[in-house]
Structure 1
């Protein structure tokens, strides 16, 4: 029987379709996907997810391999970068070693617990309410080395961390608080002790500086105002403490806001608030233990991030008038 030869164009088309199909298969096998393995799943349920995502082809075979390797109970939940069509042994290695998707989590200086909870929820998927509840849990706080504080407010060090996506709230909070204690090396608490302060009071003052200062050069000066007013028994009258006491941040405070009843309202209550109002950075912590030597008791914002510092109430009133006149003229 004689085999009929295909015309050259038809042969080329057939070869093109064949190779294109092989190419698509290879691309599909190499395609990277993010696979979520929730907590509490059985090995069979995990195998089903992997099959659905195209990571493995044989669900039963994968489960049996887990048993042979005694890896059923060693699979770690989380978010994983994987490729379709991977070798089952490689998949098991990833899941047992916890080679998860790593996510940067940036906490800016001056962030409070509510803001941090929102950042963590967006980045890692941790429920913000769960995060906040844990940050106020006394037993957990003591596990982190924090005692006699209302919450972990101010004990989370502001910097960029890298966590596995889906990490639990306990681990994330432990790492962030541990980092603060690493930054507070022996010399800082020692210096605070010489000033008659414990770590909690130090972080409280540092948080006030963090919220009030926008220019680094002014941090030690603002610190001096805080200490000078405390020494004289004057109320601190720091607007940021009122903002902290309010349910939501306001672009501008009114006189009625200054009368809100809260232990954090430093217009109504003398001395320090019960605890920090935000996470202070190292510059504010250093300013708290190395304040400038001044006799300033007041300051008013110029509106450009800097302040006018004054010694008397009359000077303060005059400074406020100058700032008001300046802004009426258009800020020039």
Structure 2
């Protein structure tokens, strides 16, 4: 059942109540209603999902706003939303780390970051799936959200999780992970790496294939990905230093076999799809040989990889 149907059903139930519902009605289970349903309604009532965007933008909305029914931006259905006061649109870019999202949400809403950080700690109240293990990183889905002035940090974050759950259902994430021999969290972790390492979404299925091939290699190969190292050190950049790759972080895939403990950002639909359905190919390496132009090349052998690395160093010196 999607948010729209959920809201319609619950409002129908409420029409038969003798007294107006208490304020906590939307946030807690009432009678036979499930906690998931109450939480989803809270998010729907406070935060409307609009369409996937490419940056965090904030703008005041007029009292009548036309918004798409689907959050992918691909649907043509329109819904007219009435708002008694000004509202705010928030567009979260795919691949942002949770810490960056919280900073941007704080700036956009005027609420302290600490309020969002407290809401993050209560993963169960946000509607996270069980396989998230209570952690929000990876599950704050990139999309555009319309937020009322009364929206609380928990409601905003719950709406992002609700949108993730919709995307996971559309992608058949749980069953797809099972077919790939992975857990849903592992697939989402792969998707977050694909999102972080890609400069062009057309490369995502190939990058996902490299990750799967290295994980499935006999004997298993270390992933050796700069993006995971940088995340573990709370740094940014396309290339980890020699000192960085000697760190003891659990996200250091130069030192540790297998995937990092969890997602390193919040991937979008394309990255999740790539993680579930990687392109067929023998590649074990990839190098973004020209970061400025977004050129990524792939190799199946170490000798080919070393040539690509030389090409990267040459382009870097030119820059």
* TM over 0.5, shorter chain: yes
Q: What is the Cα-based RMSD across aligned positions, in Å?
A: 2.6
Aligned twin of 1:111:
96
Q: Which runs of 4+ in 1 moved over 4 A?
A: none
The separation in 1 between residues aligned to 2:102 and 2:265, in whole angstroms, is 13
Aligned twin of 2:313:
324
Within 5 A, what are the aligned runs for 1:270-309? 270-303=257-290, 304-309=293-298
The separation in 2 between residues aligned to 1:215 and 1:236, in whole angstroms, is 20
| Contact 2:226 2:239 (8 Å CA) reproduced | no
Within 5 A, what are the aligned runs for 1:1-332? 99-140=84-125, 143-147=127-131, 149=133, 151-185=135-169, 187-232=172-217, 233-250=220-237, 252-303=239-290, 304-328=293-317, 330=318
Unaligned runs of 5+ in 2: 1-19, 24-59, 62-81
| Contact 1:149 1:275 (8 Å CA) reproduced | no
Bigger share in helix: 1
The separation in 2 between residues aligned to 1:131 and 1:290, in whole angstroms, is 34
The separation in 1 between residues aligned to 2:255 and 2:222, in whole angstroms, is 7
The separation in 1 between residues aligned to 2:141 and 2:316, in whole angstroms, is 36
TM superposition shift of 1:258 = 1.0
| Contact 2:177 2:187 (8 Å CA) reproduced | yes
| Contact 1:224 1:291 (8 Å CA) reproduced | yes
The separation in 2 between residues aligned to 1:199 and 1:251, in whole angstroms, is 27
| 2:260 match: secondary structure | coil
The separation in 1 between residues aligned to 2:316 and 2:154, in whole angstroms, is 48
Figure out how many residues of one structure are paired with residues of the other and give that number: 239
| 1:185 match: secondary structure | helix
Unaligned runs of 5+ in 1: 1-70, 75-79, 82-96
The separation in 1 between residues aligned to 2:267 and 2:238, in whole angstroms, is 21
The separation in 2 between residues aligned to 1:282 and 1:98, in whole angstroms, is 29
The separation in 1 between residues aligned to 2:189 and 2:256, in whole angstroms, is 15
TM-score normalised over the length of structure 2: 0.68
Aligned twin of 1:52:
none
